[in-house]
Chain A
Amino acid sequence: MTQMNKSGITRRGLLRGATAMGAAALILPAGMRAASAAPKKGGVLRIGMGHGSTSDSLDPGTWDNAYSQVFASARHNYLTEIDADGQLVPELATEWSSPDATTWTFKIREGVTFHSGKTLDAGDVIASLNHHRGEDSESAAKPIVSSIVDMKADGSHTVVITLEAGNADFPFIISDYHLAILPAKDGKIDPMTLDGCGGYVVDSFEPGVQATLSRNPNYWKSDRAHFDGLEILPIVDAAARQNALLSGQVDVIDRVDLSTVHLLERAPNVNILSVSGTQHYVLPMDSRAAPYSDNNVRLALKHAINREELVDKILNGYGSVGNDHPIGVSNRFHASELEQRTYDPDKAKFYLKEAGLSSLDVELSTSEAAFGGATDTAVLFSESAKAAGINLTVKREPADGYWSNVWMQKPFVASYWGGRPTEDWMFTTAYASGASWNDSYWEHERFNKLLTEARSELDDAKRREMYVEMQSIVRDEGSVIVPMYANYVMALSNAVATPEKVASNWTMDGFKAVERWWFA
């Protein structure tokens, strides 16, 4: 965590400091620190989110953008919570334990009520998780909970969950933003309900227009949810969002437009909040298809991309270079000992020769749907690859339908990962053999063996060793280029105060800004 006077430090210097510490960076005027010491109650927080559409749904299985996610954590609670330090802390579950990482027992907090007055019990938890499980599940979170074999209530406030195999990170997994706890009726939840046990009660919700909420008077957390009310607005246009903040129509915005952030920094009354987290951009190659089936070709491409330039120009410095594996500096077991891969056209040529090629023609499919700046990234990549004798053609695909028609369909594409709090979760999601989102169709025997072993290993030193080896395998033999880690960049009006440390797992303080922040 670094806090510095905005005027006294350059952006790049600040970022270097931030990444070196592997934590969140917060730019605040010096005067605010004192104020941030003691949270105050009161005020209506108006948030301008860069997502949100008229087709947003209340169903937890469909939450796919930051608008739904922030709105969800305002009205719902989860079993566990990841705090600002990346540690797992209790929320609706007071404690959890497992003898073998396979059978997990969760004690459910007593005396918690939903907004409707219903008291929380084990049945609500089981029904809420079951919404995502089973044959007929329509939930995007189905793969996350598919390892659950059985759940049963042991008394009114204990839930026992059995997994198909040991997973030391399971309590992390159930903090996933989809797995909100909703009230059950006859063993089922109504996925469209506005009722929850979170810090705010919903007054009105019009998808794509706004949500208004007011403080839950019976909230069980006494030191959270400081605002009297919330107004969450979707303001999708980047310039409109900035102007809404500058003209005082909202207090907080997320997804600050990185091409103009250097100008926004100069505005009085506005603070930029930049958090380096696990969010990273990737360029997966289909490892089954020529020429990407040859690891030498993949290494050539990995050396032909200029990461520093991308961080500079695409992220405007608000991010850090990637090292071709998905474990970021804020992760527990990040392998800092691995050498950082740099732009080296000669090495790229060398690997091309190893592959028996003198030049290479590839096509990179991209779209702004993949991540903001994906097309520009591809254009810069194409320019830097020229020096290595690689002719990279940029193919911009329609944003509409990108995930179903291009990603995992075309051999070389752009994509992103919001990042997962644990190494196992990230690897299992996108790198494990046969995983449904293994977008490079990559198979590696040693990697898969390590992945399974590390999952049920409880000794942290041994786990670390295993995860470092896995990162090194993905870096050198994997089929994904990870050029950069993108910070979460938000802008706050002076009036808004945050805790000293802001969570790095998701944007908006891990979606929990609504209950962790306050008006100074």
Chain B
Amino acid sequence: MSFLMTLFWVVATALGALALGWLFRAVLVLATPANMARELRKAPLTASFGMLVILIYVVVALFAPLIAPFAESEVVGRQYQQWDSTYLLGTDNLGRDMLTRMIYGARNTVGIAFATTALAFFVGSILGLLAAVVGGWLDQFLSRVVDILMAIPSLIFSLLLLTIFGTSVVSLILVIATIDATRVFRLARSVAQGIVVMDYIEAAKLRGEGLWHLVTREVLPNAMAPLVAEFGLRFCFVFLAISALSFLGLGIQPPTADWGSMVRDNATLITFGDITPLLPAGAIALLTVAVNFVVDWQLHRASGLKE
């Protein structure tokens, strides 16, 4: 019986999400200029739901202090209070309002994750494409450096860099971005290697196009799909990396709220069937799913498939 109930709720939630997506798409189509609206009208419901979720996260992140009912680290009551009208999601292990922590968590976590992933992709993909296009010693050099960076156990690597540069948010972003960039580099390089041997690249070379043109105009657009797919996931890995680092005492400084640490702090509750840690974990999962639904839509558009 309980299984049927669960199934019912899952289906109901999914249908609700699609309905929201449909509504949001309708609003967007009305609110945007004609050529954009035409594209949007074709967006699948999942993608418009994804966009809605992302928009909500961004709004929450930007206006956190206005939305949150309490101050970020304010202790408002006993620990683990039930959900009620004052504390909509109850309180956490220190008696802070869970909803407030979630809202501020959006600001801190999403901001850092976005900055980190963007940086990692910018550096990683440019270098990866360059290595593939130029080839030769540059390729060898960059590939071996990345081999080395990837082969250093990430524990030592992050401990070391954070010991040297301190545990500020900026150094956190730089360290995780460096580690991520090596992974992006390998992917970008291997995708681009398949592209640089194509006839149209030969043609562009014969036309005498410059290196920059080759990389950004010829190779990048054709390597975009796997990179975009990777972006959707790397984004999520950053949350996990922050949570792993906070375990070593290296993550975001308390009392700043971030979802990764919130999962970790409350995780043991789940083994007793208490769903408190599912809230921050669910927030991460929802964002990941949303981002990837939008990514799927973009992939589909980029592939040029008509169906």
Direct contact of A and B (CB under 8 A): yes
Chain B residues with CB under 8 A of A313: 79, 93-95
- Measured between alpha carbons, how far is A242 from B271 in the docked complex, in Å? 9
**Is the C-beta of A209 less than 8 angstroms from some C-beta in chain B?**
no
Residue of B nearest to A384 (CB): B75
B73 touches A379 (CB 8 A): yes
B73 touches A382 (CB 8 A): yes
- Measured between alpha carbons, how far is A238 from B268 in the docked complex, in Å? 7
**Is the C-beta of B303 less than 8 angstroms from some C-beta in chain A?**
no
- Measured between alpha carbons, how far is A406 from B159 in the docked complex, in Å? 16
Chain B residues with CB under 8 A of A384: 75
Residue of B nearest to A383 (CB): B75
Give, as a whole number of angstroms, the nearest-CB distance from B244 to chain A: 13
- Measured between alpha carbons, how far is A382 from B159 in the docked complex, in Å? 27
Task: Report which of A239, A376, A379, A397 forms a contact with B249, defined as CB distance below 8 A.
Answer: A397
**Is the C-beta of B272 less than 8 angstroms from some C-beta in chain A?**
yes
A376 touches B162 (CB 8 A): no
- Measured between alpha carbons, how far is A243 from B267 in the docked complex, in Å? 13
Chain A residues with CB under 8 A of B202: none
A367 touches B93 (CB 8 A): no
**Is the C-beta of B250 less than 8 angstroms from some C-beta in chain A?**
yes
B73 touches A396 (CB 8 A): no
B93 touches A396 (CB 8 A): no
Task: Report which of A242, A369, A378, A398 forms a contact with B250, defined as CB distance below 8 A.
Answer: A398
Stretch in contact with the other chain, from A5-13, A257-265, A482-490: A257-265
Chain B residues with CB under 8 A of A380: 75, 94
Main secondary structure of the interface of B (DSSP, over half): loop
**Is the C-beta of B74 less than 8 angstroms from some C-beta in chain A?**
yes
- Measured between alpha carbons, how far is A368 from B249 in the docked complex, in Å? 7
Give, as a whole number of angstroms, the nearest-CB distance from A154 to chain B: 52
- Measured between alpha carbons, how far is A423 from B205 in the docked complex, in Å? 84
- Measured between alpha carbons, how far is A461 from B271 in the docked complex, in Å? 52
User: What is the 8 Å Cβ interface bit string for chain B, positions 44-83, against chain A (1 contact, 0 not)?
Assistant: 0000000000000000000000000000011100110000
Contacts known (A378-B254, A395-B253, A398-B162); A263 close to B272, Cβ less than 8 A: yes
User: What is the 8 Å Cβ interface bit string for chain A, positions 381-396, against chain B (1 contact, 0 not)?
Assistant: 0111000000000111
**Is the C-beta of A312 less than 8 angstroms from some C-beta in chain B?**
yes
- Measured between alpha carbons, how far is A264 from B250 in the docked complex, in Å? 30
**Is the C-beta of B211 less than 8 angstroms from some C-beta in chain A?**
no
Give, as a whole number of angstroms, the nearest-CB distance from B281 to chain A: 15
**Is the C-beta of B136 less than 8 angstroms from some C-beta in chain A?**
no
- Measured between alpha carbons, how far is A138 from B71 in the docked complex, in Å? 50
**Is the C-beta of A73 less than 8 angstroms from some C-beta in chain B?**
no
Interface centre among B162, B167, B271, B274 (most CB of A within 10 A): B271
Chain B residues with CB under 8 A of A400: 159, 248-249
- Measured between alpha carbons, how far is A394 from B159 in the docked complex, in Å? 20
B-binding residues in A (CB < 8 A):
238-239, 242-243, 257, 259-260, 263-264, 309, 312-313, 367-369, 375-376, 378-380, 382-384, 394-400, 402
- Give the top 3 A-B pairs by smallest Cβ distance, nearest first: A263-B272, A239-B268, A398-B249
A-binding residues in B (CB < 8 A):
73-75, 78-79, 93-95, 159, 162-163, 167, 248-250, 253-255, 266-269, 271-272, 274
A-B contact pairs, 25 of them (CB 8 A): A259-B266, A259-B268, A263-B269, A263-B272, A264-B272, A312-B79, A313-B79, A369-B249, A379-B73, A379-B254, A380-B94, A382-B73, A382-B255, A383-B73, A383-B74, A383-B255, A384-B75, A394-B253, A394-B254, A394-B255, A395-B253, A396-B167, A398-B163, A398-B167, A400-B248
